[in-house]
Structure 1
């Protein structure tokens, strides 16, 4: 294959931009096509071509527009870079692939179901004998609350079963505060607090269609508002191997990220994100270009050998970009722009 045409959806997200920038660094001959709902998102201006699309919840309109773009641009591979689009592509993956011949890099519904519900994540870990923090549902397990507090102690983490980042996440320091925070709420989990002393870690794994792990790297991360703002790559191979074991049972396809802390020196996973993450660009800088690895393994059929990340620290700093106003106006008017030959 002389040229690979790649579609990155939800390209304005932090990890959408990271995927595009990673692919622009690739030695492969690529044409990058980006989609988003807003003309003022960077991914649309970094890619070779940009398209405005309806939001994914307008499923019929979104489906037709995506099919038109895939066919019109002769897309070979689709990367999903918006959490709002994951369910759509997971549910329509086989249909889109059959209709267009493009590969859609998204996790299957079974994996999505486990990972997008924090209670089901804990159930999966428990049933497969992996470490997990003590967790109960609220309000369904209200009768177990006293026993849970007795065993977990304080503080207690309160978070929605479904959600991302630090939205609606709380830390209760006492029984009174806990009851105040959960009063009137539904669809939450209460979770044992894992100590911060040894830091927090993220392991990024990319897996091929056969479940084989193509790349895996662990970073120790420093968070702000649920986002990785700096990270360190070091000798964390034992932690990476642990997450490889979990992935071997979960069998994700494409990108997957495991978030965990250490308790008595052992990793306790508390969240699995079935997508590219905010640290995708960091891993690329350290020598692990996940998007390129997936293209080489799945599209080109190359034998991809495991790569070790460069040791070092990454500091994230936001950067301002200037784009032609005319290009934004064109996207607003025509829902399409060409940024450069591809």
Structure 2
């Protein structure tokens, strides 16, 4: 792989083009990253890949590739390595939650074979974040605020004492899962018992009201735990999706989440969901990836992908950007793609 070179000439740095692969380019955050890098200030060639030809990122990037599903691990890995060789890829940004596990398992091999750096956390971080019981356990053991949490059915004998201490309503949800699938807000013991009686790998958790709002907080971490950016959005949800958000002076929330991200030894993007209780941030979910609100953050001047490329690939000194008070509103845009462009992918 070609080496990035920086030459000093009349006090100006001339930097070789950076080639970046964005996977899962049809996801909400994958697409936002593609658009931001294509239209951004970096001398960056963006290559997108996806399993589906009807995903917009393939057509907005400088070039695109179809890849097998990550579940077909051998074919998927061969294709990723082939793309890295063909396009001289320097960095890989993971835009699909389905690809997190295979990239974690193969990031060292990919780097050895191609020289490409994968912006992804360690397997230990992924395991803690993906399992909501382990998330609560990590927060408790490290002195952070967390909702009181009980495993079900492993700790069912502790349920009476838990209910007496925490009181209703309570939240029941799968230990592993995304969004609100399998989640229930329960207001009585009879409701709770009926709901969880045939469930396994669940948690029962203290309900934190959203009277003070719900926040999604993004932190980007470089090598040696360096904080590259952090931003807190007070969000308005519609069907589980952030459709609008407010940025104000939430520095105390950002600073708190930076501490959590550094303590967990994050590397790359990490997203924390929280509500306030007695003015303290109670984190109830940590996602070890870019967030669906990545596009909103970019619009507000916090481009986590660009900051990671600058710091981790170009070796530039990065100062976390300051964010002004503002509101951001999400609106979808429709694109028309000529069928001959789509056939480039469907016929291959």
TM superposition score normalised by structure 2: 0.94
Counterpart Cα distance in 2 of 1:326 and 1:310? 43
Which residue number corresponds to residue 120 of structure 1? 134
Which of residues 130, 145, 157 in structure 1 aligns to 2:144? 130
Distance 1:299 1:162 in 2: 33
Supply the distance in 2 between the matched residues of 1:275 and 1:75 (Cα, whole angstroms).
Answer: 20
Equivalent residue number for residue 282 of structure 1 = 296
Q: Secondary structure at the match of 1:323?
A: coil
Q: 1:4 aligns with which of 5, 13, 18?
A: 18
Corresponding residue of 2:10: none
Indicate the SS of the match to 1:257.
Answer: strand
CA contact (8 A) 1:79 1:104 kept: yes
Q: Partner of 1:100 in structure 2?
A: 114
Aligned: 1:213 with 2:227: yes
Kindly report which structure 2 residues correspond to 1:1-342, keeping only aligned pairs within 5 A, or say none: 1-334=15-348
Using the TM superposition, give the Cα deviation of residue 42 of structure 1 relative to its aligned residue in structure 2, in angstroms.
1.1
In the alignment, the residues of structure 2 paired with residue 6 and residue 210 of structure 1 have an alpha-carbon distance, to the nearest angstrom, of 22
Which string of whole-angstrom CA distances, capped at 9 and with x for unpartnered residues, describes residues 240-299 of structure 1? 111111112112111001111000110001111000001111111111111111111111
Structure 2 SS opposite 1:146: helix
Any conservation in 1 of the 2:38–2:45 contact (CA below 8 Å)?
A: no
C-alpha separation between the residues in 2 aligned to 1:290 and 1:223? 22
Correspondence for 1:340: none
Q: Following the alignment from structure 2 to structure 1, what is the Cα–Cα distance between the partners of residues 300 and 271? A: 16
Residue in 2 that maps onto 1:337? none
Structure 2 residue runs of 5 or longer lacking an equivalent are: 1-14
The 2-side partners of 1:22 and 1:159 are apart by 35
Q: Distance in 1 between matches of 2:31 and 2:102?
A: 20
Structure 1 unpaired stretches of 5+: 335-342
Cα separation, 2, equivalents of 1:25 and 1:133: 41
